[in-house]
């Protein structure tokens, strides 16, 4: 699946990751500009990076590695937490 075909995930959504398990999306990164020591400006694209809280801590993960949990299943999982 190509990255530009991925739908955005809203903060608060429940997601699954193969290594970290089930987590809650905290926020979505954005793009920004950074100046290097030689005064050259570079643009950094973090548009598809999400901060997700998993049981083992917060991880920053690309959207392509996250699977959204369907709403009905998410409500059952959240009720157990």
- Other Cβ atoms less than 10 A from the Cβ of 38: the count is 5
pLDDT tens-digit map of 20-70: 999 999 999 988 888 999 999 988 888 899 999 999 999 999 999 999 988
Count how many residues are written for the chain. Answer: 81
Q: Is a pLDDT exceeding 80 seen at residue 77?
A: no
| Domain encompassing residue 76 | 3-80
CATH number at residue 38: 2.30.30
Question: Residue for token digits 């089930």?
Answer: 22
* Structural domains in the chain (count): 1
Q: Which of 28, 21, 9, 18 is nearest to 71 (CA)?
A: 9
* pLDDT recorded at residue 2: 45
């Amino acid at each position: 699946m190509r990255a530009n075909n991925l739908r955005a995930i809203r903060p608060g959504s429940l997601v699954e990751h193969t290594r970290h398990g089930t987590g809650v999306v905290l926020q979505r990164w954005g793009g920004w500009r950074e100046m290097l020591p030689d005064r050259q400006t570079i643009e950094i694209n973090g548009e598809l990076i999400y901060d997700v809280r998993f049981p083992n801590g917060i991880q920053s993960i690309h959207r392509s590695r996250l699977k959204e949990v369907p709403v009905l299943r998410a409500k059952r999982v959240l009720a157990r937490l």
